[in-house]
Amino acid sequence: MSTEATERLPLLGLSLQELRDVVTSLGMPAYTGGQVAKWLYERRVRSIDEMTNLSKANREKLSARYTIGCMAPADSQHSVDGTVKYLFPTHDGHYVETVYIPDGDRATLCVSCQVGCKMNCLFCQTGKQGFHGHLSAADILNQIYSLPEADSLTNIVYMGQGEPMDNIDNVLQSLRVLTSSDCCGWSPRRITVSSVGMRRHLERFLNESDCHVAISMHSAIAEQRAQLMPAERGMPIKEVVELLRKYDFAHQRRLSFEYIVFGGLNDSEAHARAIVRLLRGMDCRINLIRFHTIPGTILRGASEDKMLWLRDYLTHHGLYTTIRASRGEDIMAACGLLSTQRQEQEHEQQ
């Protein structure tokens, strides 16, 4: 990346009011901010020179201090099932992986919010990479903006690399831009944000956004969840559920719990009963997820019969439960497999 490019600030990720502030600071009328927003979020231009209803002088003023902030993917891998995994550069020279999942008339994009992750969950390849930094709002939105299939997207999930609540300011900024009618105009009902349950930041997210929320549970027994997810020690699932009970999920906003099923570990009737006790009476759904083996762990996936049994048990006890289809496992794009460790090591060696 050139020195000039790094010195200029990205317009991508700025709200309408922030764009108005930018143009007025450069001596342009405030309405020019609205013109920039349309070029940026409706037409997804690649350069400021494409904003042809701005005068040449104003385009030059803007270009001297700012850039669009979009960057094409550096690489892609295609799965036999149609899933595509993209490698996106970030503005500070790192990389993240993003997964495009077409499914009939739906197309979901799984975006990342951090380079690596601090949570260090036992079953997740991203956590084993370590933490290398937060993504800016521009970096988060670039995964959508510069996606070759962007026009086909119907849903966005913040379930890629990183813990969204650990990067709450930039995640919320990206969501404001995505859902604002003045910017991207996405319905919050088409966006889901995941979390291990960082209580204070999760509460802020619930108050400042109407997007769906998905909680990574994986065990309803505190001691076992702490072994799988060190975050349980500071963010007990019981306290997370107590917080969530204060909010209304009976209407359009949806609450779900993610549960990777490990063979012989969290798939017994005792574990099923613990889930029922923890979530009894909540308006929520449970997504059962098949475990995808990663290096350096003795964990194994549950049998298909056990997956079906657990789904039926929880459904019978009043918890709407589904088994999530695995996608992109052959290109390491399935749940828990994302990692840019190799690219980060190469970056550090340069």
Per-residue model confidence as pLDDT tens digits over 208-252? 999 999 999 999 999 999 999 999 999 999 999 999 999 999 999
Cα–Cα dist 263/266, whole Å: 7
Considering the entire predicted model, what is its pTM? Answer: 0.94
Residue type, 289: I
Which tens digits make up the pLDDT trace of 283-335? Answer: 999 999 999 888 888 899 999 999 999 999 999 999 999 999 999 989 988 88
Cα–Cα dist 275/269, whole Å: 10
3-class secondary-structure state, position 27: coil
Q: Residue 334: its pLDDT value, please?
A: 80
Q: Are strands 255-261 and 106-110 parallel, antiparallel or unpaired?
A: unpaired
Q: Residue 5: its pLDDT value, please?
A: 43
If one compares 90 and 1, the residue with the highest pLDDT of the two is 90
Q: What is the mean pLDDT of the chain?
A: 94
Check pLDDT > 90 for residue 274.
Answer: yes
Binned at pLDDT 50, 70 and 90, residue 3 comes out as very low
Which tens digits make up the pLDDT trace of 180-208? Answer: 999 999 999 999 999 999 999 999 999 99
The residues assigned a catalytic role are 97, 335
Beta strand spans in 147-275 (E): 155-158, 191-195, 212-216, 255-261
Nearest to 37 by CA among 52, 10, 54, 19: 19
Check pLDDT > 80 for residue 155.
Answer: yes
Burial class (CB in 10 A: 0-12, 13-18, 19+), 103: middle
Cα–Cα dist 328/264, whole Å: 25
Strand partners of residue 264: none
Residue type, 301: G
Q: Residue 335: its pLDDT value, please?
A: 84
